[in-house]
Amino acid sequence: MISGFFAHSSRGDIGWQPLREHLHRVAELASAFAEAFHAQDEARLAGTLHDIGKYSELFQQRLRGEARSVDHWSPGAWMALTKFQCVAAAMAIWGHHLGLQRMDSSSIRNSLEPDQLRQQTGLVWKIPEEDYEVLLQRLAADGLQPTPPAQKLYDPNLDPSVQMLDVRMLFSVLVDADFLDTARHFGEERHVPPSLQPQDALKILQEHVEQLNRRTDAASQVLRMRRLLWESCLDAAGQPPGIFTLTAPTGAGKTLAMLGFALKHAATYGLRRIVVVIPYLSIIEQTAKVYRDLLEPHFGDGYIIEHHSLTGTRQMDTRESDHQDEHDKARMERLLAENWDAPLIVTTSVQMLESLFANTSSACRKLHRLVRSVVLFDEVQTLPTSLVVPTLQALSRLVERYGSTVVFATATQPAFVHLHEKVLVKGNRGWQPREIVPNNAELFHLARRVRVENPRDNPVLSWEQLAEQMLAHEQALCVLNIKRHAAQLAQLLWQRADGEAVYHLSTNLCPAHRQQVLEAVRTRLQSGERCLLVSTQCVEAGVDVDFPVVFRAFAPLDSIAQAAGRCNRNGKLPEGKVVLFVPEEEKYPRGAYEQAAAVTRGYLKQQAGAVDLYDPAFYDRYYRTLYDMTRPESQRPELQNAITVRDFVEVARLYRLIPDASINILVPYDMSVYEQLAEEARQRGLTSAWIRRARPYIVSVYRPRPSDAVVSFLEPIPIHGQPSDEWFIYTEPSHYDRLLGLQPQQAPELWIL
C-alpha cells in the first residue's frame, strides 16, 4: 500500500515517486554495488536511511511548493551514527547533498545533533520538526526496517588516509544508487554496457599486434624489443593482483602491451574493468581511438568511454541534458561516463586522482567502479612530487582493501619504492611493486639507438645560433621548456627558411591544428623531405614522430628521455643524436619542473656529464637524489594536516594536480566551423553535443584576471540561461596565427596551458 509520503514530485507526464519505493531501490542498488568490497549491509543501511527526513511534513510541503530548503539528510545521518554506530554510513548520508564534511566525533555530533540544529540561528536549511523516532515509525509503517551491519566499514584504528578512502567508497555507492534511481524514475533508463569479456578481447588484441609487426618498417632490433615487452606483459599477468611497475623504453609498444597485461590479468583473476589513466588530453584521445577502433566493432557501443574535461560531463546538469539533439550513442556515452559504468575507461590523471581525494557526489560517484579493477597509469613520472606520498597511500589502500591491481608504466620509472616507509601506514601495504619486465635491461639494450651530446660546460645558445644549427640539418626537432621560447624560435626559423618546411607545436594550437601539423610533419619525415619542427613538451609523450636529430633545452631528466624518444624512434639509422643546450634565456615552468631541472643538472655533474638513457638504474639514482633533496613527505604540510584531521572539504580543496583553474575557449582555426559552432552556442547555449563537436577547436588556458586585456575577447557561452565561467568563444580571428596558434594580445606569461 502506498503511503502519503513521496521522494520526488511529478514532472511532465511522470508521476510522484513514493518514498518507500525510492528508499528500497536505493538500498538494494547500493548494497549490490558494495558487495564487491564486502560492505553490502552498511550500504543497505545507508540507502534505507539516506532520505528518511523526507518522511517529515515539512519536506512534503516542499514537494508541494509550500516550503523551501528543507534538510532531509541530517536525520538519517544522526540515526546511522547514534542508533547503529556506523560512522561511514553517517558520513555518506550527511554528505549526499552537501558533500563529505569533516570527520571527527565532535564535528559530526555538533553538526547533526537535533537540539543543536534547532537552536542555531540563520540556518539556510530548515530541519524536520518531528522527533526522529516518528520518522522511524513512518519508515516502519512503509515496511522498511534498517538493520545494523554485521561488520562496519569504518575502523578507528586505521590511518586517517585509509579511513577517508573507505568512507568515500561507501559514499560512492550511495550517491550512485541515489542518482540512478532518481534518473530511472524520471524516465532516463541507463544503457547496460557490455561486460569486459577479457579473453575474447585479448584474442582480438593479439591478432592486431601480430598484424602491426608484419606491416611495420621498423628495424629488426626494434621489433625484437616490442615482442619482448609483449611477451613479458602476458607472462606477468598470471601473478596475483597487486602493485606493478612497467618500465620500458619509448617506442617499445607500451600502449598495447599494458592493455594485453590488463586483459589477461582480468581474465585470470575475474577483475571487472580496466581504467587507463593518462596525463595528457592529446594522448587520451589517440589512445581511446586505438582501443575503440579495435574493440568496439566486436563488443558494441559503450565498451570504451573517455572521461576528461572536454567530454562535456563536468558542467552539464545530467537531469536537464539536451536529449533532443544528442545522438543515442553520444548520449549513452555521456551517461556512462558519469559513473564509469563501462568495461574500459580512458581518463586523465586529474579526473582519476582528484576523485580519490574529492568530497562531492559528482566526483566520488564513480569510485566504487575501481573495486576489483586493473588501473593502468601511463607516463607516471608526471605525478607532482608534492602529491606523491598521499597518492601512493590511497592507491595502496585501493589494492589492499578493494582488490584492485595498479600498474605504473613509463620509460623513466620514478623510484617510488624509495618512499615505501613514508607510504606505509596501518591499513595499506606501502609501496613495493613488482616489475612486469624483470629483465628490462635487455629491453633498454635493444632500444639503444641514440647518443646524447651533453657538453660539460653546458653551452648557452642564442636563438640565432640555435636556428643556424637546426638549419644545418634537413630534418630536426627542437623541444623547449616554455611556449614563448618555442614561438620565438619558430618565427625566426620561418623567416630564415622563407616559411618552407618549418612547423610549430604547442597547446596554443587547438587539437585539429596540432593534428594537421603532425600529419604534415610525418609525411615529410617518411618521404625524406626537409622538416624542422619546434615544440614545447607536448611532443614528448605518446607522439609518434621520428627525427634523426633532436635539440633539447636543458630540463628534468625524464623530459630529456622523452624528447630522445622522438629521435631515431624506429631504429632506421645506426645512431640518432640528441643535443642538450641552455637557451639564452634560461627559464622553466614554475614549481616542480624547475626544481627537477636543477636537480638534474647537479646529478649529471655527479655523473661526469654522462647521460645514459638506456640504463634503468640511471633513472633510479636520479629519482633517489630528487627525493632526498626535495623530501616529498614534507611537502604540502597543509594537505597532510587536513588528512590527519579527516577534513574532506579541505583535502578536496588542497589536492590539485593542476592548481591553476583553467577555462576552455572556442578558437577561430577553421573559420567555417568556428562560425557555425559560435552561432549555435549563442543560440542554444552549452550542450554536451556541442562540446563533442567543438573539442577539436578548443584551447584550454589559465583563467585570466579581470584586468587582463584578453578578457575583452572572451564571450561567455550561456548554460541554462546563465553565462558560463568555464566555456568561451574567442571573438578576434586575427589573434589566431597559422604557425603559432592562439596569440592573445598582452596575455600574461604562461597564460596558455
Per the structure block, which three cell numbers stand in for 605? 655533474
- Picking from 408, 443, 478, the residue at the C-terminal end of a domain is 443
Same-domain check for residues 131 and 178: yes
Instruction: Specify the number of domains making up the chain.
Output: 4
So what's the pLDDT on residue 123? 52
Cβ pair 658, 350 in contact under 8 A: yes
pLDDT for the residue 234: 97
Per-residue model confidence (pLDDT) at position 658 = 79
660-688 confidence digits (pLDDT tens) = 678 999 999 999 999 999 999 999 999 87
| Most confident listed range (106-110, 228-232, 544-548) | 228-232
Report the distance separating Cα 739 and Cα 487, nearest Å: 9
Give φ, ψ of 715 to 5 degrees.
-100, 115
Residue type at 91?
Answer: M
Report if residue 635 sits inside a domain: no
Residue 570 lies in a domain: yes
The CATH code of the domain that includes 502 is 3.40.50.300
Look at 456 and 260; give whichever has higher pLDDT.
260
Judgement on whether residues 406 and 463 belong to the same structural domain of the protein: no
**Of the residues 185, 214, 247, the one at which a domain ends:** 185
- Please tell me whether residues 115 and 232 are part of one structural domain: no
The answer to the question of residue 255 being in a domain is yes
- Does a structural domain hold residue 629? no
Query: Is 601 buried (19+), middle (13-18) or exposed (0-12) by CB count in 10 A?
Result: middle
Q: Is residue 474 in a domain?
A: yes
pLDDT at 572 over 90: no
Distance CA 284, CA 289 (A): 8
pLDDT band of residue 328 (cuts 50, 70, 90) is very low
Question: Across all residues in the chain, what is the average pLDDT?
Answer: 89
pLDDT of residue 649: 96
Task: Evaluate whether residue 751 is within a structural domain.
Answer: no
385 and 239 share one domain: yes
Q: How confident is the model at residue 296 (pLDDT cuts 50, 70, 90)?
A: very high
Q: What is the DSSP letter of 348?
A: E
Average pLDDT over every residue of 428-449: 92
- Check residue 655 and give its pLDDT: 96
264: pLDDT strictly greater than 70: yes
Are 152 and 23 contained in the same domain? yes
324 — pLDDT class (breaks 50, 70, 90): very low
Question: Is the domain of 180 the same as that of 224?
Answer: no
Query: Looking at the domain assignment, is residue 644 inside a domain?
Result: no
pLDDT given at position 745: 67
Phi, psi of 142 (to 5 degrees): -90, 5
Among candidate residues 392, 424, 443, the one where a domain is terminated: 443
Domain check: are 265 and 144 in the same one? no
Do 375 and 466 have their domain in common?
A: no
The answer to whether residues 247 and 393 belong to one domain is yes
- Cα–Cα distance between 291 and 574 in angstroms, integer? 33
Q: What is the pLDDT of residue 458?
A: 64
Ranges 183-187, 362-366, 606-610: which has the least confidence: 606-610
> 67 or 260, which is more confident?
260
What's the domain range around 670?
A: 662-742
Q: Do both 464 and 377 map to the same domain?
A: no
659, pLDDT greater than 80:
no
Average pLDDT in the 726-752 region?
A: 81
422 and 463 assigned to the same domain: no
Tell me if 672 is assigned to some domain. Answer: yes
**Residue 325's pLDDT band (cuts 50, 70, 90):** very low
Whether residues 173 and 264 share a domain: the answer is no
pTM, 2 dp: 0.87
The pLDDT of residue 119 is above 80: no
